[in-house]
Amino acid sequence: MKIRKISYSQLNARQKESYNFHKVAAVLADYGYNSVRLADDWQGADFIAIHIDGESFMKVQLKSRFTVDKKYLGKKIFVAFIENDLIKMYDHDMVCKNLTRGVLLSSSWKNKGFYSWNKTPKKYEDYLNVLNTIN
């Protein structure tokens, strides 16, 4: 049997989420985290990352890009996404506390409760943990 790499762009949404989970979990292992995928979003999390210290853990929501969403406020959620082959994570509430006026006044934030960017704005880069490349 010959194993061949897949094309991410040809995966459906469910397959992309599974792919992203495994990529992020593999990199988090380098930082001492064991990741456990959840069948249903639990308190907004797609998976839990538990540190080898036995005390620290993160509730992680996977996204396809840099995103803020009112439904995650106050839930101590970390958001992880892949951008330009880099795994990026951030404390969702910390980013929300520092949203620009433009975001807060946008119809997306005010009416739909979320906002996302195609590419992470430089203003928010200080809030990101860039973990590693996925390749």
Provide the residue ranges of all domains of the chain, joining segments of one domain with +. Answer: 11-133
Is-contact 66 83, C-beta < 8 A? yes
CATH placement of domain 11-133: 3.40.1350
Answer whether residue 134 shows pLDDT above 70: no
In this prediction, residue 18 carries a pLDDT of 93
Span 16-60, pLDDT tens digits: 999 999 999 999 999 999 999 998 878 889 999 999 999 999 999
What SS3 string covers 57-72? EEEEEECCCCEEEHHH
Span 48-105, pLDDT tens digits: 999 999 999 999 999 999 999 999 999 999 999 999 889 999 999 999 999 999 999 9
Prediction pTM value:
0.91
